[in-house]
């Protein structure tokens, strides 16, 4: 359920790592991982503007790491955990663990 109404493939590994190497995007993904459920976009970042955040969400979505949709006037995001696990078993979990470790 992407914004475009079609589910993108999980990208090649360099694209995924490129999406996650940005600290803002890594934090978005970390928060989604810790929440374990869809979150409103606005809960996933702090110090950037809405349009900058949209840019980051787009990169994550195009890499196949997240999906986003609008419901009841809010934009939501969630991790594509199953698709990621199918493409690269264990990778997302390891990066989320590392991100929490990095955060601590």
Q: Does 23 bind a copy of itself (CB under 8 A)?
A: yes
Q: Does 18 bind a copy of itself (CB under 8 A)?
A: yes
Q: Does 29 bind a copy of itself (CB under 8 A)?
A: no
Question: Binders of a copy of itself: how many residues, by CB under 8 A?
Answer: 24
- Given candidates 14, 37, 49, 82, which one binds a copy of itself under the rule CB under 8 A? 14
Residue with tokens 């809405």: 50
Q: How far is the C-alpha of 32 from the C-alpha of 39, rounded, in Å?
A: 7
What are the tokens at 14? 């360099």
Candidate segments 33-41, 45-53, 69-77, 89-97, binder of a copy of itself by CB under 8 A:
89-97
90 sits in the region (left: phi over 0; alpha: psi -120 to 50; else beta) called left
């Amino acid at each position: 359920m992407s914004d475009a109404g079609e589910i993108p493939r999980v990208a090649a590994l360099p694209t995924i790592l490129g999406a996650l190497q940005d600290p803002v995007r890594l934090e978005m993904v970390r928060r989604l991982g810790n929440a374990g459920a869809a979150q409103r976009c606005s809960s996933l970042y702090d110090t950037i503007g809405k349009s900058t955040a949209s840019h980051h969400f787009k990169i994550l979505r195009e890499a196949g790491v997240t999906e986003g949709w609008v419901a009841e006037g809010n934009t939501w995001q969630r991790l594509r955990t199953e698709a990621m696990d199918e493409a690269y078993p264990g990778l997302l979990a390891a990066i989320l663990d590392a991100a929490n470790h990095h955060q601590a």
